[in-house]
Structure 1
Amino acid sequence: MNRAERVGARIKRFRELAGLSKSELARRVGVSPTAVNNWEDQGVMPRMEVVLRLEKVLEVDWMQLMSARSDDNVSAPFAADAPAPGQPEPSRRERLDRYRREIADLFDVAPEQVDIVIRH
């Protein structure tokens, strides 16, 4: 299964968990039902501006939808943040490095090309 197919499978699972039909999701996101079908069944990647609307409608983080990882665990979206029993909490640096790698995977670039900026 390629990344686009995994993204489509995630959209479908989150849609079903939200109790939405393809038509209802399309209406709420502002796309055609055909677009939803293309994401879920044809391996077509949604545009980023649409992903951000999906994020709000499905109440999930956009990285959960777009992750290149092959695991598809949507019931525990941030389980990777929790340490295993008996293991120390990951440091902020370790978590930031992991997020940098995930973003790099998402956009098919090297982690060194990802800059994360925090504004106060």
Structure 2
Amino acid sequence: MTLPLRIRFPLGLAIGFLALGLLLLVWGLVNDRIPNAVLGAMFLVLGGLQYTGVAIIVGAKEVQVKSALRTTARRVPIEGLADLKIDGLKLLRASDGLRITSISGVAARSSDVEELRAAITEAGGTA
């Protein structure tokens, strides 16, 4: 596994935001409802950012939790992949049990979480 590992936002949620945004935008423009059109445009932007963005970046020395707007919401220092632990739907720092973030199906893409789980196991941690 090459670091950093990038865990993307879930695909279904991003597509849902894109579909809802397109629906609201078209509905607002056709029926001359400007608030609906503005809300639709906002959902389109949010869906596009989630579709192309990264939710969690796991590096050699830290884990970064990102927001949909691409800002870093949280940084947690780690000592390597072996210092991480997956407990159910939570990503934890194994050394002290600190909860880093959720890795549920609504927070992270399942295929990327499985890659992280394999990388943690390969590094000697518990996934």
Answer 1 or 2: which has greater strand percent. 2
**TM-score tier after normalising by the smaller chain length:** under 0.3
Answer 1 or 2: which has greater helix percent. 1
Give 1 or 2 for the bigger CA radius of gyration.
2
TM-score normalized with structure 2 length: 0.27
